Structure 1
Amino acid sequence: MDTFALVVTIAVALGFTYTNGFHDSANAIATSVSTRALTPRAALAMAAVMNLAGAFLGSGVAKTVSEGLIETPVGDKGMGILFAALIGAIAWNLITWYFGLPSSSSHALFGGMVGAALAGGTTVIWSGVIEKIVIPMFLSPFVGLILGYLVMVAIMWMFRRANPHKAKRGFRIAQTVSAAGMALGHGLQDAQKTMGIVVMALVIGDVQGKGDAIPVWVKIACALMLSLGTYAGGWRIMRTLGRKIIELDPPQGFAAETTGASVMFTTAFMFHAPISTTHVITSAIMGVGATKRVNAVRWGVAKNIILGWFITMPAAALVAALAFWGVNLVFG
């Protein structure tokens, strides 16, 4: 196995993690910034630290990514498949970041893996793709929407006699905790996805065996790159989540973040399912906003975001397949 190919693939995987950080940093902090609970820089710093901490909380999601979606390819061709998968994911991340569309970095990665595997003739584990990716892709936003609505209704009922100004001040402080929970969940989910890719590259390169524990240096590298990307910020997407879907106040922001964090921790620890943080927080914001009145949510923006969800996996798969054919043409 070409050591250079292994090093380049791992470097590209860490590059993907960096784009994931600045692409998805908005997920954890947009609501806190839009309600003025935190300043943008303070929010980004907090999110970066909590992303770092979240990366060390588990490994179930990483195992799903490295073993449950495609058969581990072998040899130089296998490394080319992994490289092409990452190129497809990065390309789609950059396109959606440029246009400010909060699409899913996770599904860009999974689409890239499937597209590159199909182009390279590697077996796709369709049962894993359906059970761990497609079903959660539809189910998690629905849960986020309903749970966000119910959490906000409960808050409105519990604080119905409270002084509105005092309540808002209290929730502004509480948002520091809920935003930290979101960022911790983001680290738990998204750093592990790249860990799974790096582990797959190490298995292809015969550096470690299939099923071995994730090396500590892999956890540290993935966590650091995610944190650095997060601190770089995702201002375009932050505007979409924080303002364009609905104007949020502190209680609504707290409800949305608490909902998003709860769903992410549950899916990571109970089901080892790599869900999209983007999907969950966006749907939670919609559910929370619907308690105000249904037409308070800007459903036109929501429609465009949902369209992006359906396009992401096929688009990333296509780019990854083209990347594989290109690599194969040049180096094959």
Structure 2
Amino acid sequence: MSLDAVVLVGLAGLFAVVSGVNDGGALLATGLKLPTVRPVRGMLALVLLVAVVPLITHQVAVTFVTRLGSYHQPGGRIAMTIAVISALVVVGVLSAKGRPTSLTLAIVGGLAGAGTGWGLPVSPGSVALVLAFGLAAPLAGGLLAWVLVRVLVAVTTARGLSGWHRAGFLLQGFAYAANDGQKMLAVFMIAFGVPDAMPAYTSAAAVLFGLGTLYGLPRAGRTLGRELIASRPQHGVAAELSASVAAIACASVGMPVSMTQAIAGGLIGAGVAQSTGRVRWYATGRIVLAWLLTLPAGALLGWALALLVKGLVGMGPV
């Protein structure tokens, strides 16, 4: 295995762990006020879905690898390595400043910037389309949750809400595995030079994702459960269902979106449906600002690092 492949494999593992920290906790946090899905069982279900679902459908992983740019070309591994580093740096800096953000936006920006800087063909139209879907997903999740929470309050009992939570959690896990979670698979596909999903790679990504989730759950629970809105169980269930529908719809056309963003949009929509006072708008504004900064920051850093590395090693396609 070449040196660039070895480096990217190591980064792919780290990226999967960080995905668990950033995404996994958020997926579990929405239902923490209901005892229906225990965190350990929920985490195991997520790991299983992340390992299995991409074997059935992996259109989103293909988008990361081929539609944004041609990362199977010579130099693709180096560009992907730079993109992952850029994404991790941007997310790390924003998180350290108390502004949790989207790892999906960060890697999309990193791929666009690193590919451009390294001289790979990058599709501006595809990047713009992914960004448009990324912005639309939390809005759609919010609108759906605005409707759903009213229905849940009107027609469900406490026992009935638990049943909705079970269904919503499983649908949410499937949606993540079919969409947002496939950014991990895309990095493994480039690292090992394979054009398709394979059980060994999806399983490795899933296990590392689970380890990150264990670490990230408490922080995500604070951010989504208390800082964003004064959450009640109905809000979490409505957010799960609405975010899942939005993410699955985007996955059907191969468009990656952030489940964390979609869930946040769902929570805000559910909160507004009952009272605008439930939403902590200052915290919401900070998160939205971080989202807006993430993709351009990832692109700029990826572009600069690619030019620097290319100049140092005297490589890259012409």
Q: TM-score, normalised by structure 2?
A: 0.89
CA deviation after TM superposition for structure 1 residue 287, in Å: 0.5
TM-aligned CA deviation for residue 117 of structure 1: 1.5
3-state SS of 2:126 partner: helix
Distance 1:152 1:320, change over 3 A: same
SS of equivalent residue, structure 1 residue 290: helix
| Match 1:304 to one of 286, 292, 298 | 286
Q: Which residue of structure 2 lines up, in the alignment, with residue 128 of structure 1?
A: 126
Is the 2:185–2:202 contact (alpha carbons within 8 Å) kept by the matching residues of 1?
yes
2:179 is aligned with 1:189: yes
How far the C-alpha of 1:36 sits from its partner, in A, is: 5.1
1:7-156 residue pairs with structure 2 within 5 A?
Answer: 7-35=6-34, 37-72=36-71, 74-75=73-74, 77-131=75-129, 133-156=130-153
- In the TM superposition, what are the counterparts of 1:184-223 in structure 2 within 5 Å? 184-203=174-193, 208=194, 212-223=195-206
Is 1:224–2:207 an aligned residue pair? yes
- Whether the 8 Å contact between 2:27 and 2:260 is mirrored in structure 1 is no
Matches within 5 A, 1:164-175: 167-172=157-162, 174-175=164-165
Within the alignment, does 1:267 sit opposite 2:250 as a pair? yes
The amino acid across from 2:104 in the alignment is S
Whole-angstrom distance in 1 between the partners of 2:94 and 2:51: 24
**Counterparts of 2:36 and 2:198, CA distance in 1:** 37
Read off the aligned partner of 1:146 and give its amino acid letter. L
The change in CA–CA distance for 1:57 and 1:107 in structure 2 (over 3 A counts) is same
Q: Provide the rounded CA distance (Å) in 2 between the counterparts of 1:232 and 1:201.
A: 25
Query: Does 2:292 align with 1:315?
Result: no
**What CA deviation, in whole Å up to 9, does each residue of 1:200-242 have, x standing for no partner?**
3444xxxx5xxx4333322222233223322333422321111
Cα distance, 1:115 vs. partner? 1.2
| Cα distance, 1:120 vs structure 2 | 1.6
Corresponding pairs, count: 314
**Equivalent of residue 236 in structure 1, options 219, 224, 239:** 219
Local SS of the residue matching 2:274 = coil
Instruction: Please say which of residues 236-245 and 90-99 is displaced more in the overlay.
Output: 90-99
Unaligned runs of 5+ residues in structure 1 are: 160-166
- Structure 1 residues 94, 234: CA separation in 2 closer, same or farther (over 3 Å shift)? farther
Shift of 1:181: 2.4
Answer with 25-34 or 140-149: which moved more: 25-34
RMSD: 2.4
CA pair 188-138 structure 1, distance change in 2 beyond 3 A: same
Distance in 1 (alpha carbons) for counterparts of 2:72 and 2:201: 20
Counterpart Cα distance in 2 of 1:292 and 1:37 = 24
How far the C-alpha of 1:148 sits from its partner, in A, is: 0.7
Q: Is the 8 A contact 1:52 1:226 kept in 2?
A: no
SS in 2 for 1:271: coil
Gaps in structure 2 of 5+ consecutive residues: none
Paired residues of 2:70 and 2:76 also in contact (CA < 8 A): no
Give 1:152 shift: 1.2
Q: Do residues 256 (structure 1) and 253 (structure 2) align?
A: no
